[in-house]
Amino acid sequence: MKLEGIHHVSSITGDAQANVDFYAGVLGLRMVKKTVNQDDPTVYHLFYGDDAGSPGFDLTFFEYPGAAPGRAGQGMIHRIVLRVGSEAALDFWEQRLGNGKRSPGSLEFSDPEGLGLELRVVGTSDAPLTASHPEIPAKFAMQGFEEVRAYTYDPERSRELLESALGFERDGSSAWVAKGSHRGGRYVYDHAPSELGFPGAGTVHHVAWASLDDEQVAWRGRVIEAGAHPTPVIDRFWFKSVYFREPSGVLFEIATMGPGFAVDEDPEHLGERLVLPPRFEDLREQLEATLTPIHVPAAATRR
Ligand code: ZN
């Protein structure tokens, strides 16, 4: 039993429209679901990804309008690393973004709220997960998650859970790999800064690791055996989720690969309208009146 790399990464934004403009407009990702936070349906939950809305490339954002900027510290993820295919792709993105720190094989930059992102040239046999966008040549498009980087003072504290319960393989003193039969992804620690972190706009809320649908319950059992305290299996409608904190403090989720975002929308038209899980459908009128309307460019939804 192996986890299939990173399923999604969920972060916080204080400005849904600016978030759409950056992730769909500049980075060229497809908006694959426009919905609400299932734990607080008065706020947006926006999902961006590749054309198919695949687990393996799904960046999601909870919008808390006007949220103050947060800061990543101990027990928080501070950077999301996405794959690209070549140095020429980095050249393209460096020019398109107009900023970023370039080094061989890598371009580090931040989103408008300070969330740390990196594009990295990676040799992998995993299928590239790409979004098509009129301004972005397919050969330069981002190809899915490679890694998340978190802060901790002591990676050893998490080693037992990562290796024994989650089956991650160690790759250096503070890096691990989750490699399944479809995809792989890395989990890396950097030494935590002395300043305390706090959540807010531009910080990561949690990372989800992908599980084959029929193995999630067994993963949950292994997490309990390792001494962590997972939630029950929660039906998120597009996938099922279990959450727990790993010993360094980072919030982990184990999410099923299926059934996926096309379960309640035509795959050609994902993300065009506000989609509510069935149990919130009764609240639609009220929610649509509360949520700030956002403009999503047509190129970011239709395929
Ligand atoms: Zn999640």
How far, in Å, is the centroid of ligand 1 from the Cα of 209? 9
- State what percent of residues in the chain have pLDDT above 90: 91
How far, in Å, is the centroid of ligand 1 from the Cα of 259? 15
124-163 as b/e: b if 16+ CB within 10 A: eebebbbbebeebeeebbbbbbbbbbbbbeebeebbebbe
* Mean pLDDT computed over 187-208: 98
* Mean pLDDT computed over 144-166: 97
How far, in Å, is the centroid of ligand 1 from the Cα of 101? 29
pLDDT tens digits along 254-268: 999 999 999 989 999
pLDDT tens digits along 284-293: 999 999 998 8
Dihedral sign, Cα of residue 287, residue 288, residue 290, residue 294? positive
Dist CA 299 CA 22 (whole Å): 13
Residue 144: HSE in the Cβ half-sphere, 13 Å Cα cutoff? 25
Domains of the chain as residue ranges with CATH: 6-301 (3.10.180.10)
Statement: residue 113 has pLDDT above 90: yes
Which band of pLDDT confidence, cut at 50, 70 and 90, is reported for residue 299? confident
How far, in Å, is the centroid of ligand 1 from the Cα of 130? 21
* Mean pLDDT computed over 93-98: 97
* Mean pLDDT computed over 60-81: 97
CB-CB contact of 146 with 207 (8 Å): no
How far, in Å, is the centroid of ligand 1 from the Cα of 38? 11
